[in-house]
A and B are shown apart, each in its own frame.
Chain A
């Protein structure tokens, strides 16, 4: 697959973080320790390459919690395939961001 060879460690970390349930920019920043100037552009590239897609949270939910709505990110099918390939390339990826940690955030 074309993206497997090109995916950087940063992009793979972000994919893994989204897969692990860190579904908005700031949570990904906190989980990966990457600055905003790295995380958001990387997410734009992943979205451009159809590895993730975004959607706005329902306004009613945000209003109920008295906060602005967030933009959530989710892996696409291609993103999941690419992440599986990236895990082979970066074996520590899963240990860096285990899936169960997302529930505690």
Chain B
């Protein structure tokens, strides 16, 4: 038993060392582990006896092992502070692309976590059926106020129509909702005719499983708020005021922005809706027939109907069309504007000027252009996700400000990031694509008349020098590359980047 316990402590100690070694930089890990294992062996020999288990001694040995974590952290800190960036990696093209990819991944992950962005994507998956009108009394200025009674709806539905081929009706009521495991809650419930979602073009099943009870469709908001986004919510039974219903589906947020903004949609026969409160107004949704579409183009139409007493009733039909602004369209426009504005904020000349006729090989020139293209693509992708993050971070998905924020954010991010990409490209060695470094000022404009003055930078690989004039002149306006020949090699002989 004692040997079993002792063996267990030994394994635990070894595992503590192994776990601590993860903190140590990979290059030093083997030697670090070797020293600690060696020390542990000696510590165990000094502290423990062979014949009996000593809990106190084992505890001391374990405390010794736990000290390895502080040592590992110390080694890591030293490596970080003393470690100059490897010349082979310093400012290299893969490092640059890796950083951009990391930023892109962060922006994309944030977007996946933002409910606003998800709602926008979700709504983009569904399309509202064309030709839908919300019909209301023409005297009402506010489309969110219900004006149509169930009797009017019944009359319209029962009358033969040329301009319309479908009608649906709903009315918003405040119902106390009961469901198992939660307190009663006052919900805003839309009592709708069963054909409402078929008319709207909602593709999911709107009949309750089993068909034994009326179907209720939850709004996305209520599903998240009251059911904590439970994916198994379909089929559960609710009681809405005096009606027991079964949950059929959860509506995605966004695509059907009908007035009322209810928490749930209870599908009931129209006779039941009318019987419950025959004069209470609601909302009437109609679908235009082919004839009606030809007769009534445009976002809003005026409809005159003859009442039962031969009087004319003026109604207004407002088109329920999907939001023409979609995130991708907004971003594409921002990208287009940024590309247009780019020449105004930076020089887009990427032609190479050098002191001699020497030019890098075709392979290197292609690699340079591919690197620039990769940077621009990554920046555009970052602009897309970052603009979405900013636009939908704190603004409701139905807000009109979201596309505007996305447009501005996308434009600013793309414009200045493209500017950076071009400036970065101009300071990369054409041979190895590493950023030139070690700037040295040569001459002073105030002291040299016709002599060159500016900044000289060098490629760490020893391929090139970049001369940037401090005062562009007619004979030296753009930065020039000086390709170094083999006589310079000895200077970079010990440089791993060379």
Number of residues in A with C-beta < 8 Å to the partner? 20
Residue A68 interfacial (CB < 8 Å)? yes
Question: Can you name the residue of chain A whose Cβ is closest to the Cβ of B41?
Answer: A68
Give the Cβ gap from A3 to chain B, nearest Cβ, in Å. Answer: 16
What total count of A-B pairs have CB within 8 Å?
62
**B68 in contact with A40 (CB, 8 Å):** yes
With contact pairs A37-B67, A37-B69, A38-B70 given, residues A68 and B78 touching in the complex (Cβ less than 8 Å): no
Q: How far is the CB of B20 from chain A (nearest CB, A)?
A: 10
0/1 string, A38-69, CB within 8 A of B gives 1:
11110011001000000000000000000111
- Segment touching A, from B32-40, B114-122, B363-371: B32-40
**Are B78 and A44 neighbours in the complex by a CB distance under 8 Å?**
yes
A26 and B43 in contact, given A40-B68, A68-B37 (Cβ under 8 angstroms): yes
CB distance from B271 to the nearest CB of A (A): 80
Across the interface, B39 reaches (CB within 8 A) one of A24, A37, A44, A45, namely A24
Partner of B74, one of A24, A30, A35, A44: A44
A38 to B70, CA, bound (A): 8
When distances are taken between beta carbons in the complex, the residues of chain B under 8 Å from A48 are 78, 82
* B38 A41 Cβ-Cβ under 8 A: no
* Chain B nearest CB, measured from A12 CB (Å): 18
For chain B, the bracket of interface size reads 20 to 34
A82 CB to closest chain B CB (Å) equals 19
Q: Which of chain B's residues 39-55 have a Cβ closer than 8 Å to chain A?
A: 39, 41-43, 45-46
B418 to chain A minimum Cβ distance, whole angstroms, is 44
Asked if B67 contacts A71 (CB within 8 A), the reply is: no
Q: Is the CB of B41 within 8 A of A67?
A: yes
Asked if B202 lies at the interface with its beta carbon under 8 angstroms from chain A, I say no
Determine whether A70 belongs to the interface, using a CB cutoff of 8 Å to chain B.
yes
Report the minimal beta-carbon distance from A44 to chain B, rounded to whole angstroms: 5
- Interface centre among A26, A36, A67, A68, by most chain B C-beta atoms within 10 angstroms, is A36
Known: A48-B78, A48-B82, A68-B37. A37 touches B42 (CB 8 A): no
B41 touches A44 (CB 8 A): no
Residues in A whose Cβ lies below 8 Å from that of B70: 36-38, 40-41
B42's partner among A40, A41, A70 (CB-CB below 8 A) is A70
Q: Which residues of B contact A70 (CB under 8 A)?
A: 38-39, 42
Closest chain A residue to B75, Cβ basis: A44
CB distance from B71 to the nearest CB of A (A): 4
Residue from B38, B63, B75 in contact with A69 in the complex, judged by beta carbons closer than 8 Å: B38
**Is there contact, CB below 8 Å, between B38 and A71?**
yes
Asked if residues B41 and A35 are in contact (CB atoms below 8 Å), the reply is no
B29 to chain A, nearest CB (A): 14
CB pair A36–B67 under 8 Å, yes or no, is: yes
Distance in Å: Cβ of B63 to nearest Cβ of chain A: 7
Query: CA separation between A9 and B401, bound complex, in Å?
Result: 63
- In the complex, what residues of A have CB within 8 A of residue B68's CB? 36-37, 40
Beta-carbon contacts under 8 Å, A7-32 to B: 24-26, 29-30
Q: Which residues of A contact B69 (CB under 8 A)?
A: 37
In the complex, the answer to whether A26 meets B46 with C-beta atoms within 8 Å is yes
Residues from 63 to 91 in A contacting B, C-beta threshold 8 Å: 67-71
Tell me if B126 is interfacial: C-beta within 8 Å of chain A: no
Given the complex, which residues of B lie within 8 Å of A37, measured CB to CB? 66-71
**Given known A26-B39, A67-B42, A71-B35, contact A44–B67 (CB-CB < 8 A):** no
Q: Tell me how far the C-beta of B452 lies from the nearest C-beta in chain A, rounded to whole angstroms.
A: 42
Interface residues of B in 319-346 (CB under 8 A from A): none
Q: Decide if B42 touches A26 in the complex (CB within 8 Å).
A: yes
Residues in A with CB closer than 8 Å to B42 are 24, 26, 67-68, 70
Residues of chain B within 8 A of A26, CB atoms compared:
39, 42-43, 46, 64
Verify A36–B71 contact, CB threshold 8 A.
yes
Nearest Cβ on chain B to A49's Cβ, whole angstroms: 10
Considering only CB atoms, which chain B residue lies closest to A39 in the complex? B67
Q: Which residues of A contact B82 (CB under 8 A)?
A: 48
Is there an interface contact between A41 and B74, defined as CB atoms closer than 8 Å?
A: yes
Which residue of A is nearest B42, CB measured? A26
Closest to A34 in B: B67
B71, A44: Cβ atoms under 8 Å?
A: yes
Q: Give A71 to B71 CA distance when docked, in angstroms.
A: 15
Q: What does the 1/0 interface line of B141-185 toward A look like (CB < 8 Å)?
A: 000000000000000000000000000000000000000000000
Q: Say yes or no: A35 contacts B63, CB within 8 Å.
A: yes
Could you tell me the distance between the alpha carbons of A35 and B42 in the complex, rounded to whole angstroms? Answer: 15
Residues of A within 8 A of B43 (CB): 26
Of chain B, the residue at the smallest CB distance from A35 is: B67
In the bound complex, residues from chain B placing their C-beta under 8 Å from that of A29 are: 64
Please measure, in the bound complex, the distance between the C-alpha atom of A97 and the C-alpha atom of B37, giving whole angstroms: 27
Given contacts A36-B65, A71-B35, 7 further A-B contacts (CB under 8 A): A30-B46, A36-B70, A37-B67, A37-B69, A41-B74, A45-B74, A69-B38
- The interface of chain A, by Cβ under 8 A from chain B, is 24-26, 29-30, 35-41, 44-45, 48, 67-71
Query: 3 nearest interchain CB pairs?
Result: A36-B67, A37-B67, A41-B74
**A–B complex contacts, Cβ < 8 Å, 22 sampled:** A25-B35, A25-B39, A26-B42, A26-B46, A35-B63, A36-B39, A37-B66, A37-B68, A37-B70, A37-B71, A38-B67, A40-B67, A40-B70, A40-B74, A41-B70, A41-B73, A44-B74, A45-B74, A45-B78, A48-B82, A68-B38, A71-B35
